[in-house]
Every structure is written in structure tokens, then in C-alpha cells.
Amino acid sequence: MLTRLLAVLLGIWLGAQLVLGYVAAPVLFAHLPRLQAGHIAGVLFSIQSYFGLAVWALAAYVGRTQQARSLLKSRSLKLMAVLWALLAVNEWLVTPVINALKTGGSHWLLALTGGSFGLWHGVASSLYLLVSLLGLYLVARWLRFEWR
């Protein structure tokens, strides 16, 4: 029962990940002023990140408890850990730097590394794409769409 519920949650996460990043955000920027669109997109991305952190942590827990192997022996569980870490880095490291650049504030990582808004936005977009692709692969594996 928990596995099926988790499959539904993973499907919801993946659908929201793809729609938010590749449909909703571009539509927001096409129809609203940049600052307003950026603010709304930022809030939506943050909600999506926290949802993803929760769902993938649950998936790793369920996957770990349903397998006799250790966490380090399962490729899927390693990839889930990587996905979770990428979500965390994007939400708790990259996003605060972008917010500091937008508001003219300071952030320790920005002071350490420097960079422009465009550079950090590119980092965030790249991480988002990587998480999306990794999530697509893992959801397909979870649902066993592996035609080997």
C-alpha cells in the first residue's frame, strides 16, 4: 500500500517538476512583469523543492526497508541520495544567493565565490534540469519501466 501511494506521490512530483519548470515559469515570464513573474516562480520552485525533498526522502526510506541490501549497494538508492542532495543544494545554497543578488543583499557563498545573477540563475537552471532528468529516470525505475 505504501509503495503504491509513494508511486503516486513520485508521479505528482515529477509532473509538477516538469510542468513548473518548463511550462509555468516560461508562461509567467511571458505574461507578467519580470519582477512579479520571478517572485511567483521563486515561491513555486521553493514549494516544489520542499515537496521533492520530502517525497524522495520517503522513497529512499521505503526503498531501503524493502531491500535486503545496504544503501551503498543499491544504484537506485545512491541516485536518490544524489537527487536529494541536488534539491537541497539548489534550495538552501543557490536560491539564497539568487535572492541576495535580486535584493542587493549579501550572502556568505556570494562573498566567497562571486558571480552575477545570470551565472547563479544558470547554475540553478542546470541543477533543476539535472534533477528533472534524474527524477524521470528514477520514477521510471520505480515503476519498472525498464524494458531490458
Give tens-digit pLDDT for 13-65.
Answer: 999 999 999 999 999 999 999 999 999 999 999 999 999 999 999 998 888 77
Q: Which of 12-26, 65-79, 92-106 ranks highest by mean pLDDT?
A: 12-26
Residue range(s) defining the domain that contains residue 66: 2-142
**pLDDT higher than threshold 70 for residue 97:** yes
Q: Is 147 a domain residue?
A: no
- Please give the tally of structural domains in the chain: 1
Q: Is 86 a domain residue?
A: yes
User: For the chain, what is the mean pLDDT?
Assistant: 90
Phi, psi of 77 (to 5 degrees): -70, -35
**pLDDT higher than threshold 70 for residue 146:** no
- Does the predicted TM-score (pTM) go above 0.75? yes
Looking at residue 145, what is its pLDDT? 60
